[in-house]
Structure 1
Amino acid sequence: MARKVAVVLFNLGGPDSPAAIKPFLLNLFRDPAILRVPFFVRPLLARVIARARVAPATGNYRLLGGKSPLLALTQDQASALEKALPDHEARCFIAMRYWHPFSLEAARAVKAWGPDEIVLLPLYPHYSSTTTGSSLIAWREAASRVGLMVRTTAICCYPTDPAYIRATAALVAAAYDKARTELDPGVPLRVLFSAHGLPEIIVRRGDPYQSQIELTVAAVLAAWGRSVDHAICYQSRATPQKWIEPSTEVEVERAAHDGTAVLVVPIAFVSEHSETLVELDVEYRDLARAKGVPGYFRVPTQNADPGFVAALAGLVAGALASGPGLCNATGKRLCAACFGDCPFAPADMRAS
């Protein structure tokens, strides 16, 4: 008989109504992996930051019909992934970090289904203590709370997985070719790989996220096989701290100064949501227009792209073959020893 495999998809989550925006933000900033301040300060500071961000977030979600599209798109990915795993009786469950369905809801549903094995699959290709790390902690707490005792394998990251890279490179290549057809031949085109940012202090303390973004960009360029003008930049600053640089805003302004059009690749995102549909498609497009950038284009995220779904299926198959515990797409530790927040690092070396 085919094994019953529960695949738990981790993602950020998003408000499903205007009323959910404030509690979503509170959940986000109450997470100790996000707001790294003393525990007795965090609740107050989270309220202050959330209160300041409610109005702009409400405006952004108004452009999206009053809610995030992330859950529906993740459900599409889940449905497609189930069909891509015909050798198993596979069912996908969604565990969002900051809004429904939370890990506890997913753990209860998994337990009710009664799988033989569980694979934890983050829809964050790049490991960070603020995303996958936080989601793994939430899952372990939820599984313990409901008494879910099943053989489990957690995939920590897949920044250089060949199938993921091929799928991403194909999207970039298609968008680049389309942009070139719409541009005057004399106008140069620069590719901006835009990733979600992180406070600089988190990276300095051993988080491997930025390093993994750089690995992905190098792999995508190699798979594409085309030498192009490009840069890596970071968006979505959310706290007053210094964040990793350069910012996407600065790179758009530099493109204006250089007289080059830009093709923005949301390299850290695999689903459309407010940071792509509003921040990239509205805010940075408006900035590019205001600064005189001669052309602004954007690569779509993977969503349920068949190549990406096939990559996820391959990751699940590899996880099942590796056995319970922690694994990644390479089968070994990917991060350099200096990254103490890598989940493969010895516990006494971890920075957080």
Structure 2
Amino acid sequence: MSQPIGVLLVNLGTPASYQVADIRRYLNEFLSDTRVVELPKFLWQFILKGVVLPFRAPKLVEKYKEIWMDGGSPLLVYTQAQGEALAHKFADENIIVEIAMRYGEPDLEKAILGLREKGCERILVVPMYPQYAASTTATLFDRVAQISKKMRDQPDYRFIKRYAEHPAYIASLAHKVEEFWRLNGVPQRLLLSFHGLPQRSVDLGDPYYDDCHKTAALLREALKTYNVEIEVSFQSQFGKAKWISPATQTVLERYPSQGVHNVDVMCPGFAADCLETLEEIQLGCAEAFKAKGGKQFRYIPCLNADPMWIDALAQIVKDRLGSWS
């Protein structure tokens, strides 16, 4: 029998619990990454250790508690479901599917070593970020290289850089929206909220902003028969630096004065629901919208482990496996 192929689904990461210590530990690892915060290391570590970790972590406790699930954080629960569903799709193809997080648990290094112990000479790394950004996709590739640097016998790797325009991904998003509208009716406006990025990153050549708009353009085309205006915004701004715009909450707060009182919001840049979608958008932005006179705010969940998305993910993986499979 031929050697199995490893497929490693990797998402960003999550605290082990909503306790302050675990949140602080996660934030410290995440925000210490120089790909994530591109400030002089000495200056940023002073701010991180002296201001961010002591004050921000406690504020996140209640936010995480609001969305926590029986199996852990939503990001972990849904990523595990994605991994299990994809493994089932590949059950007859000598492909081993594992999940990992760039920060926190399940640990990326343990996942790679685990695949090697199962006989995987070839490993496909699948970042669960449809749109490429240096602060997400590139830092994952950096970490894989860092882990492999310690190995005497390294595996053969392949990576997926992005799937922002992949037809199967776009079709999954469109199906998600269509099913939601079939059950609930169409809104006045559909807002696609992507994670934010400092403007400086884009100015330095990061293609993320363009990737987001490419996804939005293809989704508009797929949904054009509904005659619903679809706009793009960016969420989760942090710090005082200029970020790519427009900001999601600002857009939503302006809608009522523009006559838009019924809005649906979707987050296509997140493969799985998490704090940024469930607490920030579904709860926080909904409240801000209604406080300005908005009447109906509906959040369309992420793809999570939807069967059509798992089929699409399998197709994306197979396309990249190419001659391996």
Residue in 2 that maps onto 1:9? 9
SS at match of 2:106: coil
> What CA distance in whole angstroms lies between the structure 2 residues aligned with 1:302 and 1:148?
37
Residue in 1 that maps onto 2:27? 25
Q: What percent identity do the matched residue pairs reach?
A: 31
Matched, 1:73 2:78: yes
> What CA distance in whole angstroms lies between the structure 1 residues aligned with 2:107 and 2:311?
26
Matched, 1:217 2:208: no
Superposed CA RMSD in Å reads 1.9
Shift of 1:147: 4.0
Shift of 1:173: 1.8
Shift of 1:3: 4.6
Residue in 2 that maps onto 1:248? 248
Structure 1 residues without counterparts, runs of 5 or longer: 182-187, 325-352
Contact 2:168–2:316 (8 Å) recurs in 1 = no
> What CA distance in whole angstroms lies between the structure 2 residues aligned with 1:230 and 1:223?
11
Q: Taking structure 1 as reference, are residues 2 and 231 closer, same or farther at Cα in structure 2, changes over 3 Å only?
A: same
Give matches, 1:151-300, under 5 Å: 151-180=156-185, 189-226=188-225, 227-260=227-260, 261-300=262-301
SS at match of 1:12: strand
Contact 2:5–2:123 (8 Å) recurs in 1 = yes
Residue in 1 that maps onto 2:129? 124
Residue in 2 that maps onto 1:345? none
Shift of 1:84: 1.5
TM-score by length of 1: 0.85
Shift of 1:41: 2.3
Greater CA drift, 224-233 or 300-309: 224-233
SS at match of 2:257: helix
Aligned residue identity for 1:104: E
Greater CA drift, 4-13 or 66-75: 66-75
Shift of 1:212: 0.4
Shift of 1:64: 2.4
Give matches, 1:92-111, under 5 Å: 92-111=97-116
Shift of 1:225: 3.3
Aligned length: 318
Q: Deviations over 1:195-220 (max 9, x none)?
A: 00001101111111110010001111
Residue in 1 that maps onto 2:93? 88
> What CA distance in whole angstroms lies between the structure 2 residues aligned with 1:116 and 1:104?
15
> What CA distance in whole angstroms lies between the structure 2 residues aligned with 1:180 and 1:100?
39
Shift of 1:229: 1.3
Q: Taking structure 1 as reference, are residues 244 and 234 closer, same or farther at Cα in structure 2, changes over 3 Å only?
A: same
SS at match of 2:113: helix
Shift of 1:114: 1.6
> What CA distance in whole angstroms lies between the structure 1 residues aligned with 2:177 and 2:216?
11
TM-score by length of 2: 0.92
Shift of 1:192: 0.3
Matched, 1:64 2:63: no
Aligned residue identity for 1:4: P
> What CA distance in whole angstroms lies between the structure 2 residues aligned with 1:277 and 1:322?
39
